[in-house]
Amino acid sequence: MKSRKIETINARIKAGEAVVLTAEEFKDMVRREERITPDDVDVVTCATCALMSGTAVLLSFAICDSGEFERAARVWLNGVPGFPGPCPNERLGIVDAIIYGTARASHEYGGGHLFRELVEGKAIEAKVETGDGRSIERVLTREDIHFARMFTTRSAFKNYMAFVNTAEDKVESIFSVHGLRGPYRECSVTGSGELNPLENDPFMITIGIGTRILVNGAMGYITGTGTRSSVDKPNLTVIADMKDMDPEFMGGFITSKGPECITSIAVPIPVLNEAVLTNLKVLDEDVKLPVADINDRLPRWMSSYGAVWHNTDLEIEFDAERCVNCAVCAVEDYCPTRAFSRMKGQDQKLCFNCGACVSLCSEGAFSANLGHITVNDMKVPITLRQSNRARANKLAERLKEEIIGGDFILTEPVGRLI
- Paired sense of beta strands 72-77 and 94-100, if any: unpaired
Rounded distance, CA 1 to CA 74, Å? 59
pLDDT score at 2: 72
Q: Kindly indicate the confidence band of residue 344, based on its pLDDT and cuts at 50, 70 and 90.
A: confident
Tens digit of each residue's pLDDT (9 = 90 or more) over 176-223 = 999 999 999 999 999 999 999 999 999 999 999 999 999 999 999 999
Please say if the pLDDT value at position 320 is more than 80.
yes
The pair phi, psi for residue 258, each rounded to 5°, is 115, -175
Tens digit of each residue's pLDDT (9 = 90 or more) over 271-283 = 999 999 999 999 9
Output the average pLDDT for the chain. 96
> CB-based contacts of 155: which residues, under 8 Å, 6+ apart?
52, 54, 55, 226, 235, 236, 237, 238, 263, 265
Residue type, 89: N
CA 261 to chain CA centroid, nearest Å: 8
Mean pLDDT for 64-89 is 96
Helix (H, G, I), strand (E, B) or coil at 359: helix
Rounded distance, CA 60 to CA 391, Å? 30
- Residues 277, 271: contact at Cβ < 8 Å? yes
Mean pLDDT for 63-91 is 96
Please say if the pLDDT value at position 418 is more than 90.
no
pLDDT score at 346: 87
Rounded distance, CA 204 to CA 274, Å? 14
- Paired sense of beta strands 162-164 and 288-293, if any: parallel
Tens digit of each residue's pLDDT (9 = 90 or more) over 212-259 = 999 999 999 999 999 999 999 999 999 999 999 999 999 999 999 999
Tell me the β-bridge partners of 54: 154
Longest dimension (CA), the chain: 70
Percent of the chain's residues with pLDDT above 70: 100
Closest CA to 256 of 383, 81, 390: 383
- Residues 56, 99: contact at Cβ < 8 Å? yes
Residue type, 213: I
- Paired sense of beta strands 109-110 and 20-22, if any: unpaired
Closest CA to 403 of 43, 3, 35: 43
Q: Kindly indicate the confidence band of residue 1, based on its pLDDT and cuts at 50, 70 and 90.
A: low
Rounded distance, CA 51 to CA 74, Å? 27
pLDDT score at 351: 97
Residue type, 102: T
Residue type, 290: P
Tens digit of each residue's pLDDT (9 = 90 or more) over 286-309 = 999 999 999 999 999 999 999 999
Helix (H, G, I), strand (E, B) or coil at 29: helix
pLDDT score at 343: 81
Q: What stretches of 207-287 adopt beta strand conformation (E)?
A: 212-215, 218-225, 236-241, 251-255, 258-270
pTM equals 0.96
Tell me the β-bridge partners of 37: none
Helix (H, G, I), strand (E, B) or coil at 227: coil
Query: Bigger pLDDT: 118 or 345?
Result: 118
Please say if the pLDDT value at position 379 is more than 60.
yes
Rounded distance, CA 110 to CA 99, Å? 10
- Residues 332, 340: contact at Cβ < 8 Å? yes
The pair phi, psi for residue 199, each rounded to 5°, is -75, -30
Between helix 389-404 and helix 23-31 the angle, nearest 10°, is: 100
Domain boundaries, the chain: 54-151
